C-alpha cells in the first residue's frame, strides 16, 4: 500500500508539483550518462539492450520533492534456487544526484556487452556504482578504468572456467595500484567505495568494497548480494586490529578515528588497515529474478532493502495509478522511473548525501543461448 504526502493517489510524484517530464527520445548505441549540471538536480538515463533503445532524462529541484512512503514488508526467507533458466539482455535505468551536497563525489558506470561471445559462450554487461570521499578523483578513475581492467583479466582467462573471485580480487587490486601509481596531489587521502555487477544470461557476479550495496529481488524477496564493510563489523575489526590499527568511535566507528568504512579503493594513507579486497558473490540467474539494485549509501541510509524493492517492484509492474497520458512504456514503469523514484524517496526522507542508483531489470523475455 502506498501512502502519499500529496493529494494524488499516484505512487509517482505529482507532475505538477515536481515539474517532471519524461521525454521519449531516440537513442544511440553508445549513449553515455550525462553529467548533473544543477546542484540540486537528478538526471536519469534509460537504456535497453533490446532492438530499440529509449532514453529519458529529468531534472527537478529538491524543493519539489514529495515523499513516497511504502510500508515495510516483513522479513522473508530466501526462496530456494529453482531450475536454472537462460536470459539474454536487460534494460536498466540510472540516477546520479548531487542531493544537498556542494560537491558530487559519486560516479556511475554502465558498459553493455563489455565482454562478448567472441571470448566466452556468454556476453556480459557491467554496472558499477562508486561513492567517493575526500574528493571525486578516485570514483571517477574507477568509472573510467575498472571495467576495462576486469575485461583484461577475463580475456586472460579465455578458454578456461572463470574464477570470478580471483578475477575480481585482482581487478580491484589493479585499480587500487593504478590510483597509487598516478600519485596525483592529495590522491593518498582520497578514496572510493565500489560495488559492481557483471550480468550474463546465466550468472550475476557481484564484487564490492565499502558500503555501497547490491541487492536482488527474487520471487518477491529482497536478497542482499553484498555486505557493508564497516570498521565495527566483528570480522573487519579483528582484521584491522591484527594489522596494528584501531577503530575509534568518533561520530560513528572510524579507522584511526578518520574513515567510516573498512575497505575502499584509494585511501593509501590508511594502508594496510583499509584494503581494496572485495567480497565476491556469484549467483545463478533464475526465472524468479526480477531486478537488481546497486546504490551508494545515500540511498541505503534512508531505505531498507525491502522498502527499496517494494518501490521498484510497484513501479515496474505499473502499480502506480498513473493516468493514461502519463504512461511510459505502455502500462509498465521503466527502470529509469524506478531509479528516479528511489532517489527522490531517499531525498524526501532526509538524505543529505550524494545518491547514485542503478536498477537492472532481469525478467525481460528471454531466449536460449546458442551453443
In whole angstroms, what is the distance from residue 271 CA to residue 255 CA? 11
Q: What is the pLDDT of residue 186?
A: 61
Strand 213-218 relative to strand 203-209, pairing? unpaired
Q: What is the pLDDT of residue 185?
A: 57
Task: Judge whether residue 306 has pLDDT over 60.
Answer: yes
Q: Is 16 helix (H, G, I), strand (E, B) or coil?
A: helix
Task: Judge whether residue 181 has pLDDT over 70.
Answer: yes
Show the cell assigned to 315.
513501479
Q: Which of 187-196, 199-208, 320-329 has the lowest mean pLDDT?
A: 320-329
Q: What is the pLDDT of residue 275?
A: 97
Peptide bond into 272 cis (omega under 30): yes
Residue 91 lies in a domain: yes
Q: What is the pLDDT of residue 63?
A: 35
Residue 127 C-beta-side C-alpha neighbours within 13 Å? 27
Residue 309 lies in a domain: yes
Q: What is the pLDDT of residue 244?
A: 96
Residue 45 lies in a domain: yes
Q: What value does the mean pLDDT of the chain take?
A: 76
Residue 352 or 12, more confident: 352
Phi, psi of 263 (to 5 degrees): -135, 140
Contact call for residues 313 and 217 (beta carbons, < 8 A):
yes
Task: Judge whether residue 170 has pLDDT over 50.
Answer: yes
Residue 179 lies in a domain: no
In whole angstroms, what is the distance from residue 108 CA to residue 44 CA? 12
DSSP state of 37: -
Residue 199 lies in a domain: yes
Task: Judge whether residue 257 has pLDDT over 90.
Answer: yes
**Cβ of 133: how many Cβ atoms within 10 Å?**
20
Structural domain span for residue 57: 2-73+81-162+193-227+277-361
Query: Mean of the pLDDT values across residues 133-160?
Result: 92
pLDDT band at 115 (very low <50, low <70, confident <90, very high): confident
Residue 186 lies in a domain: no
Residue 256 lies in a domain: no
How many domains does the chain contain in total? 1
Task: Judge whether residue 312 has pLDDT over 50.
Answer: yes
In whole angstroms, what is the distance from residue 90 CA to residue 112 CA? 9
pLDDT band at 317 (very low <50, low <70, confident <90, very high): confident
CATH code assigned at 212: 3.60.40.10
Residue 141 C-beta-side C-alpha neighbours within 13 Å? 25
Residue 246 lies in a domain: no
Task: Judge whether residue 366 has pLDDT over 60.
Answer: no
Q: Which of 235, 240, 272, 268 is nearest to 254 (CA)?
A: 240
**Cβ of 301: how many Cβ atoms within 10 Å?**
15
Q: What is the pLDDT of residue 324?
A: 39
For residue range 19-68, what is the model confidence (pLDDT) as tens digits? 332 333 323 333 333 333 333 444 444 443 332 222 233 333 343 332 23
DSSP state of 250: S
- Alpha-carbon torsion angle 344, 345, 347, 351, nearest 10: -140
Q: What is the pLDDT of residue 116?
A: 80
Q: Which of 349, 361, 105, 346 is nearest to 210 (CA)?
A: 105
Q: Which of 271, 251, 248, 273 is nearest to 262 (CA)?
A: 273
Task: Quote the crossing angle between the two packed helices 335-348 and 305-316, to the nearest 10°.
Answer: 140
pLDDT band at 184 (very low <50, low <70, confident <90, very high): low
Q: Which of 222, 130, 121 is nearest to 175 (CA)?
A: 130
**Cβ of 25: how many Cβ atoms within 10 Å?**
13
Q: Which of 11, 155, 122 is nearest to 71 (CA)?
A: 11
For residue range 278-302, what is the model confidence (pLDDT) as tens digits? 999 999 999 999 999 999 999 999 9
Q: Which of 34-48, 138-152, 252-266, 355-369 has the lowest mean pLDDT?
A: 34-48
Amino acid at each position: 500500500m502506498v501512502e502519499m504526502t500529496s493529494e494524488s493517489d499516484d505512487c509517482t510524484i505529482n507532475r505538477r508539483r515536481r515539474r517532471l517530464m519524461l521525454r521519449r527520445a531516440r537513442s544511440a548505441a553508445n549513449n553515455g550518462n550525462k553529467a548533473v549540471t544543477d546542484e540540486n538536480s537528478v538526471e536519469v538515463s534509460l537504456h535497453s539492450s533490446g532492438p530499440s533503445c529509449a532514453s529519458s532524462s529529468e531534472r527537478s529541484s529538491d524543493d519539489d520533492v514529495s515523499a513516497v512512503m511504502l510500508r515495510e514488508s516483513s522479513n522473508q526467507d530466501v526462496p530456494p534456487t529453482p531450475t536454472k533458466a537462460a536470459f539474454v539482455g536487460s534494460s536498466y535505468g540510472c540516477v546520479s544526484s548531487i542531493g544537498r551536497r556542494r560537491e558530487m563525489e559519486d560516479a556511475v558506470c554502465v558498459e553493455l556487452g563489455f565482454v562478448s561471445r567472441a571470448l566466452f559462450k556468454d556476453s556480459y554487461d557491467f554496472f558499477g556504482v562508486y561513492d567517493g570521499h575526500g574528493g571525486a578523483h578516485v570514483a571517477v578513475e574507477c568509472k573510467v578504468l575498472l571495467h576495462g581492467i576486469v575485461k583484461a583479466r577475463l580475456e586472460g582467462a579465455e578458454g578456461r572456467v572463470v574464477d570470478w573471485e580471483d578475477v575480481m580480487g585482482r581487478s580491484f587490486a589493479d585499480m587500487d595500484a593504478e590510483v597509487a601509481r598516478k600519485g596525483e596531489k592529495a590522491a593518498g587521502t582520497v578514496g572510493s567505495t565500489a560495488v559492481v555487477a557483471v550480468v550474463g544470461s546465466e550468472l550475476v557476479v557481484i564484487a564490492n568494497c565499502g558500503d555501497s550495496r547490491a541487492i536482488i529481488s527474487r520471487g518477491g524477496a529482497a536478497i542482499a548480494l553484498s555486505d557493508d564493510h564497516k570498521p565495527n563489523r566483528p570480522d573487519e575489526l579483528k582484521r584491522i586490529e591484527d594489522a596494528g590499527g584501531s577503530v575509534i568511535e568518533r561520530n560513528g566507528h572510524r579507522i584511526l578515528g578518520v574513515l567510516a568504512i573498512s575497505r575502499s579503493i584509494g585511501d593509501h594513507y590508511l594502508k594496510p588497515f583499509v584494503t581494496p579486497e572485495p567480497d565476491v558473490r556469484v549467483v545463478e540467474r533464475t526465472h524468479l529474478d526480477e531486478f537488481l539494485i546497486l546504490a551508494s549509501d545515500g540511498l541505503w541510509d534512508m531505505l531498507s532493502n525491502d522498502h527499496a524493492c517494494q518501490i521498484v517492484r510497484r513501479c515496474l509492474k505499473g502499480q502506480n495509478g498513473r493516468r493514461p497520458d502519463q504512461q511510459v512504456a505502455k502500462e509498465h514503469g521503466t527502470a529509469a522511473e524506478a531509479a528516479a523514484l528511489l532517489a527522490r524517496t531517499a531525498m524526501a526522507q532526509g538524505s543529505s548525501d550524494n545518491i547514485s542508483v542503478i536498477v537492472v531489470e532481469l525478467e525481460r523475455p528471454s531466449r536460449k543461448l546458442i551453443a
